[in-house]
Amino acid sequence: VSAGITIDRISARLRDQLAWAGLVVALALGLGAAGTWLVTVRLRRQTHGLGPVELGRIHDHHDAVLHAVREGLLLVGVDGTLTLCNDAARQLLGLPADAEGRHVGELGLAPLEDGMLAADEERVHLVGDRVLAVNSAASRLGTVVTVRDHTELQALSGQLDAERGFADSLRSAAHEAANRLHTVITLVELGRTEQAVALGTAELRAAQELTDRVVGSVREPVLAALLLGKSAEAAERGGELVISQDSELDDLGLDPRELVTIVGNLIDNAIDAAGRIEVHLSAGAEGIVIRVADDGPGLTDPAAFAKGWTTKGDGHGLGLALVGQAVRRLGGAIEVSGSVFTVRLPIPERVR
């Protein structure tokens, strides 16, 4: 007995199966094409219609600009993680090489903490010896932070403030002298020459005594000029600035700009807060001592020397911070006890 399947029947069954197989393949190709089209549309939407070549070119351009600008640029995620930073930001903030991907709290970035990330405004902070202007702006990826170095600008501004202070002091002195001169002239016109001579002599004696006391106690010419000017300014504003009797400070070769920053800002704050200011300057075994005391309410907040603390309005608050910065540059220390500010500076080695 023989059994088998004819070739015609096999061919017919193959034709039926090939039709179904072709349908399945066509359906798979259609689904694949549709998926590819959807992915392409989504990618085009995400990349704003740019292709691989354009994306690579934009990345190169952005990377070159990011690392070429002098301002520090940082991108901080919503969870406080540092996502991106450029070379300038690493240098200004002293960031390590592995800073990206770490939380800002671990990196010791004080300007980016304490609500800074939520503040869409520019603030000035002291980071080491640098004065940095920090600005933050929210974005969909987190917070974009820009950091600009204002150290040189602040130094020039401090010098300008010192020059303006000298000018104001000279104006105050000229105003007082003009008042007294007009009084003397009026007395002469009224025929009271003896009273005019007495008034003029008394004023001349008082001015000469102040000059002799300051110049005799402080042999640093810039600092002596500052004290004379501040004395006139305090008098015009209804206060009194006195130099302690035991003050004596030679010219020890310290940077006069640093001394003007320290003494000038301390006296300015004292004039704003009080009526009577006493300044003591001396040099001895414990180094150089600068003490400014007033009869005001005093200072109790330890943050005053940290990052621009102020009790005034906007545009103020760097005075005491700059004092602390100058003291640190000279290797000294500052103490505060109520309304008494004491600065201790080491005597330069070349003078000892």
What distance lies between CA 156 and its chain's CA centroid?
Answer: 14
Average pLDDT of the residues in 257-268: 87
- Regarding predicted confidence, which is higher, 4 or 268? 268
Q: How far apart are CA 182 and CA 177, in angstroms?
A: 9
pLDDT tens digits along 19-74: 778 888 888 998 999 988 888 888 777 777 767 777 777 777 777 777 778 788 88
Q: Name the burial class of residue 8, with classes exposed (0-12), middle (13-18) and buried (19+) by CB atoms within 10 angstroms of its CB.
A: exposed
**What are the start-end ranges of the E strands in the chain?**
72-76, 82-85, 122-127, 130-139, 142-149, 240-243, 276-284, 287-294, 333-337, 340-345
pTM of the model: 0.55
Q: What is residue 188's three-state secondary structure?
A: helix
| Domain residue ranges in the chain | 70-149, 156-345
pLDDT tens digits along 113-151: 554 555 556 676 666 667 777 877 777 777 888 888 877
- Regarding predicted confidence, which is higher, 89 or 302? 89
Backbone dihedral region of 114: left (phi > 0), alpha (psi from -120 to 50 degrees) or beta?
Answer: left
Q: Which residues contact 65 (CB under 8 A, 6 or more apart)?
A: none
Which pLDDT band, with edges at 50, 70 and 90, does 252 fall under? Answer: confident
Parallel/antiparallel/unpaired status of strands 240-243 and 276-284: parallel
Q: Which residues contact 104 (CB under 8 A, 6 or more apart)?
A: 76, 80, 81, 82, 112, 113
Q: Name the burial class of residue 203, with classes exposed (0-12), middle (13-18) and buried (19+) by CB atoms within 10 angstroms of its CB.
A: middle
Q: Which amino acid is at 45?
A: R
Nearest-10 Cα torsion for 268, 321, 123, 102: 180
Q: What fold, for 70-149? A: Beta-Lactamase (3.30.450)
List strands edge to edge, sheet with 122-127: 82-85, 72-76, 142-149, 130-139, 122-127
CA atoms in the 13 A half-sphere facing the CB of 83: 11
pLDDT tens digits along 327-343: 888 889 998 888 899 99
CA 107, 109, 110, 112 torsion-angle sign: negative
Q: Which amino acid is at 13?
A: R
CATH topology of 70-149 equal to that of 156-345? Answer: no
| % of the chain at pLDDT higher than 70 | 78
Q: Residues 222, 226, 228, CA angle at the centre, nearest 5°?
A: 120
What class is the 156-345 domain? alpha beta
pLDDT at 113: 57
